[in-house]
Amino acid sequence: MKTLLTTVLWLILFVLCWPLALLALVLWPVIWLLSIPLALLGIGVGAVLALVKSILFLPARLLGYRG
C-alpha cells in the first residue's frame, strides 16, 4: 500500500512539475546511501544504551527482582 501511495504521489508530481520529479527520482538513491551511516550510528547508540541499562540493573537482578 505504501508503494502504491508513493507511486501515485510521484506521478502527480511528474504531471505538475516533471523536472522536479525526475530530479527526485535521480537523487533518491544518493540520499538513501547517505542515510545508511546514520542508521548504523543509531543502531550502535541503541546497543550502547541497552548495555548501560543492563549494567545498571544487574544488582537488582542478582538480588532476585523480576521486572
Domain that holds residue 46: 2-62
Give domain status of residue 67, yes or no: no
- Residue-wise pLDDT for 3-49, tens only, equals 999 999 989 988 999 898 899 889 999 999 999 999 999 999 999 99
**Which residues, other chains included, contact 21 with Cβ-Cβ below 8 Å and sequence gap of 6+?**
10, 13, 14
pTM of the predicted structure, to 2 decimals: 0.58
58 falls within a domain? yes
pLDDT at 67 exceeding the cut of 70: no
As a whole number of angstroms, the distance between CA 20 and CA 13 comes to 8
The verdict on residue 13 lying in a domain is yes
